[in-house]
Structure 1
């Protein structure tokens, strides 16, 4: 009991640090989006807006086609998430179920590939997309995002597939299912938390990515949200309040996604960590 109370203040401090680190930037961003330019530059600084205004949100949609940026990001993130889940499901199932001689080596290579800096892949990917005539298309982003998310999603799914008894698949195949049918009718539903976790990771990765989106799509109507927000900056002006409003709008879809699926994601991360 004494050890419990001794560790309790440390736990509270750690939780407080994590809470401040996670919520304070978002809160400050939201408060900034409700201020005027004059109030933002006032000294001493004011924490709460004197006269909250939604004019910055109106300007965010009127100054740039923010709705188009949102639609482009949603389309690219959704398509890349679907393709990532499809490929990583087959890859994870093969690693988990087939008697591979070099399973440990394969997993090590997957982990190593996931650590490659994105900037080192920029030129080869750009040349590949140009050779395939895919620049300025959704495909130019969907394919690289799928490849970049595959290592992490595959590792997550492998940990879940390993925990599902083979007898369930064998029973399904005895009843007439093919191996592919057993995979999607038995294994994938039982690994639901892991699938949701992999989907969230792939979606967030595609939603937030900036470098490839800037390099591969030069058409203004194909800009994704991270790239589109940079267009608010002028040569001699940096409208922090409008940019803050645009950033808040970009955060809302992810926040809604996390709130809806938070239980599955948390259970997936926890179960995956315990099984790994």
Structure 2
């Protein structure tokens, strides 16, 4: 086999990408089933000699990890629903209706999506304190949905623009309203794009740390990213416990991607192509 065969380089590049994405997660899992003594041993052991699940038991005992998990699930779930619902309406308007300055609006969406979260911290904090919403789920659901909204809208605009208008016209001739045609005709046909937007919004909300640590400081309201960093002490870093908590946090995202991977890949590849 010739070394200059393009397929060899393609497979090599694919292997590097897969290894780069998979190896950190595998290493975290291996660390989570090692004991503290084995983890600090020199030379290092790559495969656990005495695997144990005690770190997971201890992780749930030392911190209310189940509560943190529930908080993250509620925040990420509702922020995703809100984001996709609003993004669908906005994307439909931009794709189908005569909206003045449409290209300017799309450009502004791209610009807004680049705002760093840190630059929004002070105004968001002041707003939610004045509204009395600090330490409530809404304090994270609303900003998380807003932060994911530009990308979700841009993703859905491409899909909606590629769906033939005749399908909506036929639905409205049969008595459907424009909003009914959107939910019963356009959204189902744009399912790959809707799933893509939903998963991006869910992952962004699930992983967010800065707003969660500021707007939900109460122990009972903490999300997983905030709760996990509480395992470390001033001079102690219990890596097995932290790794076990990280595995718990990774499971929902991994399951979502595994179940909907075909729709996600289809959404990412089809979104830039208009029919």
Structure 2 residue runs of 5 or longer lacking an equivalent are none
8 Å contact 2:59–2:242 — kept in the other structure? yes
Residues in 1 aligned to 2:37 and 2:29: alpha-carbon distance in whole angstroms = 17
- Find the aligned partners of 1:273 and 1:188 in 2 and give their Cα distance: 17
TM-score between both structures, scaled by the size of structure 2: 0.97
Report the count of equivalent residues.
275
Shift of 1:17: 1.1
Q: Deviations over 1:89-131 (max 9, x none)?
A: 1100000011223111111110010011111111111111111
Output the TM-score relative to the length of structure 1: 0.97
Q: In the aligned structure 2, how far is the partner of 1:236 from the partner of 1:185?
A: 57
Whole-Å Cα distance in 1 between the matches of residues 19 and 273 of structure 2? 27
Cα distance in 2, alignment partners of residues 125 and 254 from structure 1? 27
**Partner residue of 1:63?**
62
Partner residue, 1:8 = 7
Whether 2:232 is the aligned partner of 1:233: answer yes
CA shift in 2, pair 1:248/1:13, >3 Å = same
The list of structure 1 runs, each at least 4 consecutive aligned residues, that deviate by more than 4 angstroms after superposition, is: none
**Alignment root-mean-square deviation, CA:** 1.6
**Equivalent in the alignment of 1:223:** 222
Shift of residue 58 of structure 1? 0.5
**1:156-193 Cα distance to aligned partner (Å, 9 max, x none):** 10000000011111111011001111110111111111
Structure 1 unaligned spans of 5+? none
1:193 corresponds in structure 2 to: 192
Q: Is the Cα contact below 8 Å between 2:172 and 2:178 reproduced in 1?
A: yes
More divergent stretch after superposition (111-120 vs 265-274): 265-274
- Whole-Å Cα distance in 2 between the matches of residues 42 and 15 of structure 1? 33
Which residue in 2 is equivalent to 1:173? 172
Kindly indicate whether residue 91 of structure 2 is the aligned counterpart of residue 92 of structure 1.
yes
Alignment of 1:56-135 (within 5 A): 56-135=55-134
> For residue 154 of structure 1, what is the aligned residue in structure 2?
153
1:7: Cα distance to partner?
1.4
Offset of 1:264 from its aligned partner?
Answer: 1.0
Q: Distance in 1 between matches of 2:272 and 2:67?
A: 38
CA shift, 1:274, in A, is 3.2
Q: SS of 1:75's equivalent?
A: helix
Aligned to 2:270: 271
Contact 2:162 2:273 in 1 (8 A): no
2:91–2:154 contact (8 Å) kept in structure 1: yes
